Structure 1
Amino acid sequence: MIMVGGVAIRHILFILTFISLYGYTLFYLITNRIKIFSVKKGSFLGSFNRIDILAVIFEISMLMSMTVIPYIKGTNLHYAYSEVFDSAAIFSLFFAVSYLIKEKQINMVKLLSYLKILIFLFAIGHLALYFGQEKNSHFIENFFSLFSELVGENGIIQKVVLGHGGYTRVMFNTSIYLLVGFFVFFYQFSKNKWYDYIFFAAEILAMLTTMTKSLWFGAAGAVVFAGIAIFIYGIKTDKKLAMKIVATVIFTIVLIIGSDQFVFDGSVTIRMNNAFVTESTIDEDLNGDKAQLDKEGAAVSNTIKLVQISKLLDKWKGSPIIGYGYGSYVPDYLRSKEAPFSYEMQFFALLMKIGVLGMAIWIFFFVMQFIYILKNNRKSFDHIISWLFLLISIVICVQTNPLLISFTGMSVILFLSLMTIHIMLEERNGYICCDGGI
């Protein structure tokens, strides 16, 4: 939300991060006399595995769909750049970090500890804004006015709006990081202490404050899968762990139901009941009622999405293999004048933009990551399941919100891919980090 000299602070932080990571990588290569361009074992390129090679293809695919394909198809190159440059830039960090992980110069275990704390504080921020707004209808407005003053009126004020039913919702683009918080909890599940459940509870409540069904479906759908899989694993190998999983599931269900009734005034139930509504009959007895208003809003939103699918598919049929490139849109169906390429239905929008070939590269990249994890790490099954949990969560939650192709969304994709490298090395090589690195 902070601008520095007209430049978003995330861009400044990215540049500093890029310089520090690749600068340190170069320093490490030079001081250890490691060849950069040799493909022999022990060199920089020689350390590349299949996942690294697929990551190169993945990055090139994004760049091609940002430059060459839009040029060929006549798509506005400025729009292409605006849509995907941040994502391509973020993912470019993979190659330096991947190498430093393999060289035991980056401690991913410590990184997870930092993330756990930061995401917990982020969750507390959601709760503070929600409860503040519930007590004072001008709280969020006043909060961001104060924030704007503190940064010298030089910032982008986050839009946190009321839902159709008049309920408070605290939703940021970065709220998707709450799913990463769940990942950390599951990843360290067998080692979790009592206070980790406080972190977990805060993240669940923060997720509910977003009042965003796509995030809920992402978390809930994958949690069920992960819970069942770890439960089976626990029964076979560790009865105590199995009971811990059962207790966690019960804890989660009770917390959600209880908070819906006593904290969120039934808004969670109302939102979920209206998840797939496409028609809304007017009930005069409920005129102005929160449930009725939300139903009307959900019906309008869902109908728009169905129309959007049809429009995007019609456009895609004109270039099914390579698409029209990032930045492309349906000329007679714009969802935003500032960003005409932005659509809620992510899968169909991506299909139209990068075609079957581009989608195949995305799918193949993550399928191969999962296969590699299975082949190289069969002892830490909870780590494998937690990785799959985060992948499925992201896939589900971005389907009805344009969160994937963004600075935030791609940072989660980057994190997921880096965890693949870490999990692969974790037990295969008796991986112990670190040897005086970062």
Structure 2
Amino acid sequence: MKIKKTLFIKIFIYLMALRSPLILVSMFCYMISTRDLIKKFVINALPFCLFLVAAILYSLGNLNAVDNVLGESRDILLSVFVAVFLLSCCDVSDDNRKLIYKTLKATFVFIAIVKVLILIFSVVTGVPMPLIISWIRDSWNIQMMSLGVEGTFLARLQIPLDSAVPFFLYFVTKELIFTTEKKYRVITAFVFLLISMLLTLSRAFWAETILFVGLAILFEAGIIRAFRIALVSVITTTLLLLLTPLGSLIFKLIDTRFGKTSMANSASDLERVWQNQMLYNSFIDSPVFGHGLGYFIPNAMRSITTPYLYESQSLSMLMTLGVLGTLVLFLLYVFLCFKTIYNDNNGRLKIIVPAIFLVMWVFSGSVNPLLFGASGGVIIFLTAKTSSLYKRDDAQDL
């Protein structure tokens, strides 16, 4: 039986959600079977590779630990490979673009369904959610953050790839606006993704979700339709919060992350402020070139296994690469995104939405150590495809 080449793209995305190194195998399998893609991939990835080689040599010259230098370089390179591979696949075939959108949506929805099933399992069996999360984390080696909600059976359900979901909701909202047939499918996916974001208990993800859904409505629906959508949303949300049991749960979720009495919030915020001050002080010591990749502050480590990772990864990049290195790396990502946008729009540049995407990517990296890696690569891919990942004509096909 002949295997379809596009299966490797699907496998790549599925394995990405599992944080499996086998994504490189699926990527190379598709590249070998599609020779046109190799040239595009190399051209787009080469500037990043040259930059990383220079950064690694500088870092090793500063006597930073080899494991840490290679570990941080790997995270950056993974984001580049994910973004460039998906963009190159879209360049090769428009069918690939549609396939990637559908597969990403299916992956994110599947993750949301798993979260809901964990929630249901916890309620039915009485097993605390933090215990289930610990079991999944230890058994499957999946990074999941945990935080209980006082007075409820709920707890934080968050994996690294969740950081890309708010950005992806921009496109799902577009699909919701343009789709006329079988709209219930899109609505179901949209609701599951909202639930998934709610269960992350991340204030940053909540803010980004509201922003990107609102942004899609504002830019794609038109003024009159946007007003109608906003009115219906406000009425529906009000009824849901005030007249159903879900209301009290949602209010408790919000209070857990915004309430002044939450000890977890206070401790987390104080630690972040202290850590940011330490990062800033270290940055001032070497502001131009930085201390090199893999560098960390011994008395301000977030993790023993990955000491170079900080909650404010955006600020830590200034510490490691300095203003010059950070600016060069950021401009490489910007150039990749806007070159794609320029080509997708026949020589026209659409700046506003992708610029907001990039700003929110940096913002997200300032409160979560998820700037790079697979999730960062997906965000860069979505930024480059803001105007073309989902098109109005796709409403008939997806």
Task: Give the TM-score, by structure 1 length.
Answer: 0.70
Please tell me whether the aligned partners of residues 98 and 389 of structure 2 are also in contact (alpha carbons under 8 angstroms).
Answer: no
RMSD of Structure 2 on Structure 1 (CA)? 4.1
Please tell me whether the aligned partners of residues 59 and 92 of structure 1 are also in contact (alpha carbons under 8 angstroms).
Answer: no
Structure 1 residue aligned with 2:341, among 367, 373, 383? 373
Match status 1:416 vs 2:386: no
**Structure 1 residue 196, shift from structure 2 partner:** 1.1
Following the alignment from structure 1 to structure 2, what is the Cα–Cα distance between the partners of residues 424 and 162?
A: 34
Larger Rg: 1
Match status 1:305 vs 2:272: yes
Please tell me whether the aligned partners of residues 75 and 328 of structure 1 are also in contact (alpha carbons under 8 angstroms).
Answer: yes
Structure 2 residue aligned with 1:324, among 282, 286, 291? 291
Following the alignment from structure 1 to structure 2, what is the Cα–Cα distance between the partners of residues 396 and 168?
A: 24
**Structure 1 residue 12, shift from structure 2 partner:** 4.1
Letter in structure 2 aligned against 1:23:
I
More deviation, 358-367/296-305? 358-367
Match status 1:156 vs 2:124: no
Following the alignment from structure 1 to structure 2, what is the Cα–Cα distance between the partners of residues 379 and 426?
A: 18
Please tell me whether the aligned partners of residues 301 and 307 of structure 2 are also in contact (alpha carbons under 8 angstroms).
Answer: yes
Note the 1:375-414 alignment, pairs <5 A.
377=345, 390-406=357-373, 408-414=374-380
Match status 1:217 vs 2:217: no
**Structure 1 residue 146, shift from structure 2 partner:** 8.2
Please tell me whether the aligned partners of residues 49 and 77 of structure 2 are also in contact (alpha carbons under 8 angstroms).
Answer: yes
Per-residue deviation, residues 129-166 of structure 1 (Å, max 9, x unmatched): 22433454415477579879xxxx96426555343746
Please tell me whether the aligned partners of residues 21 and 97 of structure 1 are also in contact (alpha carbons under 8 angstroms).
Answer: no
Structure with greater proportional helix content = 2
**Structure 1 residue 198, shift from structure 2 partner:** 1.7
Please tell me whether the aligned partners of residues 18 and 142 of structure 2 are also in contact (alpha carbons under 8 angstroms).
Answer: no
Following the alignment from structure 2 to structure 1, what is the Cα–Cα distance between the partners of residues 389 and 121?
A: 44
Please tell me whether the aligned partners of residues 289 and 324 of structure 2 are also in contact (alpha carbons under 8 angstroms).
Answer: yes
Please tell me whether the aligned partners of residues 21 and 96 of structure 1 are also in contact (alpha carbons under 8 angstroms).
Answer: no
Per-residue deviation, residues 402-433 of structure 1 (Å, max 9, x unmatched): 11233x3233245326626x839989xx99xx
| Alignment length (residue pairs) | 371
SS of equivalent residue, structure 1 residue 326: coil
**Structure 1 residue 18, shift from structure 2 partner:** 2.7
Please tell me whether the aligned partners of residues 14 and 90 of structure 1 are also in contact (alpha carbons under 8 angstroms).
Answer: no
Structure 2, unmatched stretches of 5+, are: 1-16
1:16 paired residue number: 25
Following the alignment from structure 2 to structure 1, what is the Cα–Cα distance between the partners of residues 368 and 332?
A: 22
Relative to structure 1, is the Cα distance of residues 191 and 265 closer, same or farther in structure 2, using a 3 angstrom cutoff? closer
Relative to structure 1, is the Cα distance of residues 248 and 320 closer, same or farther in structure 2, using a 3 angstrom cutoff? farther
Following the alignment from structure 2 to structure 1, what is the Cα–Cα distance between the partners of residues 356 and 241?
A: 22
1:127 paired residue number: 116
2:10 paired residue number: none
1:118 paired residue number: 107
Following the alignment from structure 2 to structure 1, what is the Cα–Cα distance between the partners of residues 128 and 100?
A: 34
Match status 1:69 vs 2:29: no
Structure 2 residue aligned with 1:182, among 163, 166, 169? 169
1:195 paired residue number: 185
Please tell me whether the aligned partners of residues 311 and 366 of structure 2 are also in contact (alpha carbons under 8 angstroms).
Answer: yes
Per-residue deviation, residues 331-389 of structure 1 (Å, max 9, x unmatched): 232222222112111221111112112321344345443486378639999x9876566
**Structure 1 residue 329, shift from structure 2 partner:** 0.7
More deviation, 138-147/99-108? 138-147
2:93 paired residue number: 104
Match status 1:314 vs 2:281: yes
Identical aligned residues as a percent:
20
2:253 paired residue number: 268
Structure 2 residue aligned with 1:172, among 159, 162, 173? 159
1:250 paired residue number: 234
Following the alignment from structure 1 to structure 2, what is the Cα–Cα distance between the partners of residues 144 and 169?
A: 9
2:34 paired residue number: 25
1:356 paired residue number: 323
Following the alignment from structure 1 to structure 2, what is the Cα–Cα distance between the partners of residues 186 and 389?
A: 16
Following the alignment from structure 2 to structure 1, what is the Cα–Cα distance between the partners of residues 139 and 208?
A: 34
Letter in structure 2 aligned against 1:315:
S
Letter in structure 2 aligned against 1:250:
V
SS of equivalent residue, structure 2 residue 298: coil
Letter in structure 1 aligned against 2:34:
T
